[in-house]
């Protein structure tokens, strides 16, 4: 398919979501591509701010970790690091009270709702309360019409892909389909729906007009 057609549809859907997100109290901006998203996000992060980062493929795909390191920020993240559980917990707790917290969202509806599902809950906890500023970056591929579609997206797209990425032995990672499992590796244990912006949390959502993350 002509990429300009896909780009045009993504732009229209992002505009619908941005309007709904703003109506729900969130700050929301659009970036046409990964480079533009990186530039806009970096402008939102105060110099020398301590930054917490959730387990997001999107954050890494746009080059945000490298850009923060280059600028000399203190970063709290345990993703991809060989840390003992005690060290991981320490990093995650520091991220919860960071000046800026960066993550993505599993799904965002065109009604301006954010749906996220975690195994431990530290990511969704930080999105709700703790950090001074939360920035959520999401590709247009994560936009869905309804909450029902958001759940379906997580169970049958994001869940299986993340399970495979993390080498988990969940049924969805093996079959590509959710079975509402009782696996010890189950990732779907904590579900959070942001219907409106939480009272005391400054949240900016950056929608990007391309495919990013899972």
- The Cα 70–Cα 61 span in angstroms is 16
Residue given tokens 């398919």 in the structure block: 1
The closest alpha carbon to 188, from 115, 119, 106, belongs to: 119
Query: pLDDT at position 175, please?
Result: 87
33-66: pLDDT as tens digits: 999 999 999 999 999 999 999 989 999 999 999 9
Asked if 95 and 59 count as a contact pair (C-beta separation under 8 A), the reply is no
Percent with pLDDT over 90 in the chain = 76
Give the tens place of pLDDT for each residue, 136-153. 999 999 999 999 999 999
Query: Cβ-count burial of 36 within 10 angstroms (0-12 exposed, 13-18 middle, 19+ buried)?
Result: middle
- C-alpha separations of 25 from 64, 156, 209 in Å: 25, 29, 22
Condensed to tens digits (0 to 9), the pLDDT of residues 91-109 reads 999 999 999 999 999 999 9
Length of the chain: 214
Which domains are present in the chain? Answer: 3-147+188-208 (3.40.50.10420)
Categorize the per-residue pLDDT at 1 as very low, low, confident or very high, splitting at 50, 70 and 90.
low
* Alpha-carbon separation of residue 64 from 29, 73, 89, 167, 211 (angstroms): 17, 11, 23, 24, 16
Evaluated on CA atoms 4, 7, 13, 16, the torsion sign reads negative
What DSSP string describes 24-49? TT-EEEEESSHHHHHHHHHHHSPTT-
Q: What is the dihedral of CA 187, 141, 97, 123, to 10 degrees?
A: -10
Element (H or E) spanning 202, and its range? strand 202-208
Starting at the earlier edge strand, list the strands of the sheet with 133-139. Answer: 27-31, 202-208, 133-139, 100-103, 51-53, 75-76
CA 58 to CA 62: how far, in whole Å?
Answer: 6
Output the pLDDT for position 172.
Answer: 87
């Amino acid at each position: 398919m002509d990429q300009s057609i896909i780009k045009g549809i993504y732009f229209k859907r992002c505009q619908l979501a941005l309007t709904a997100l703003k109506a729900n109290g969130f700050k929301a901006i659009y970036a046409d591509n990964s480079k533009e998203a990186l530039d806009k996000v970096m402008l939102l992060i105060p110099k020398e701010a301590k930054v917490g980062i959730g387990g997001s493929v999107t954050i890494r795909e746009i080059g945000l970790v490298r850009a923060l390191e280059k600028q000399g920020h203190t970063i709290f993240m345990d993703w991809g690091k060989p840390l003992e559980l005690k060290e991981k917990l320490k990093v995650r707790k520091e991220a919860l009270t960071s000046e800026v917290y960066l993550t993505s969202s599993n799904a965002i509806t065109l009604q301006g709702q954010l749906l996220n599902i975690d195994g431990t809950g530290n990511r969704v906890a930080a999105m709700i309360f703790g950090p001074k500023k939360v920035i959520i970056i999401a590709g247009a591929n994560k936009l869905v019409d309804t909450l029902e579609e958001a759940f379906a997206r997580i169970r049958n797209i994001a869940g299986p892909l993340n399970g495979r990425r993390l080498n988990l032995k969940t049924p969805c990672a093996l079959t590509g389909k959710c079975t509402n499992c009782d696996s010890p590796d189950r990732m779907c244990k904590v579900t959070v729906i942001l219907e409106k912006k939480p009272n005391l949390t400054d949240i900016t959502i950056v929608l990007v007009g391309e495919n990013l993350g899972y």
